[in-house]
Amino acid sequence: MEEPGPPAASPENAFAADLFEDLPPKYDRLAEVLSLRQNGKWRRALVSHIVRFKPRRILDVATGTAGVAIALAHATDADIVGVDLSDAMLERGRNRVYDAGLDQRIRLQHARAEQLPFPDASFDAISFTYLLRYVAEPAATLAELARVLRPSGGMAGLDFYVPPNPFWRASWRLYTRAVMPSAGYVLGGQAWWKAGRFLGPNIIDFYHRWPIHRIFEAWREAGMVDVEDRVMSLGGGLVMWGRKHHA
């Protein structure tokens, strides 16, 4: 009998995997440059909320090149599993983990956030970055993340946001629609131009369909309590965190 294959990817999954296929060689450097050096600040805020739970085992979802996983390993004594859709990003991540001397504590594998290959309550904490815009059903994905989180465990996520202030929102639109794609092309080539062109409209569309109050509801419906958020960098980034209800 044949072994079952991996779960079928949604169109959103397939698009995300294709979008990130050619980005890994310059991803870590350009993510900082094109975010005007805010990406690192957002990651540190994310990590700080995971650290509070003193986790022994962490799942890092949409781990990419393992930047958050490595930061978590430096900030905690936990063993970390990172999952991502992109084999190219995972390969780059494995190289970074090895170079950091953390290959005994961080394990990276291919998996979909919507169908995680882990038993219930497997992890003490879960982090995710730039995830919900790339899945078909954000609420169902949050529920799946919460499934593998132990009761009273912590979860934190970060993503881009749309500045609420009209002046900064106009500046953000100009940057994401014109400056970022052009700078991406100059610094990283065609793949980064494509990603830059996609990002601004995608962020706006996501929050049109999933305003912040609806995201809060999805966290609570997934069994998370004490859910809070912090808008950062004049509205360019959003970090959310909470803990799983103890039944």
- Chain segment 180-239, per-residue pLDDT in tens: 878 776 777 777 778 777 788 999 999 999 999 999 999 999 999 999 999 999 999 999
- CA atoms in the 13 A half-sphere facing the CB of 179: 11
Q: Please, what is the average pLDDT of the chain?
A: 89
What is the rounded CA–CA span in Å between residue 216 and residue 222? 10
Domain spanning 11-160+211-244: CATH superfamily: Vaccinia Virus protein VP39 (3.40.50.150)
pLDDT at 1: 34
Judged against a pLDDT cut of 60, whether residue 175 lies above it is answered with yes
- Take residue 143 and report the two structure tokens written for it: 């529920």
Task: Tell me if residue 100 falls in helix, strand or coil.
Answer: coil
Domain boundaries, the chain: 11-160+211-244
Question: Element (H or E) spanning 152, and its range?
Answer: strand 149-160
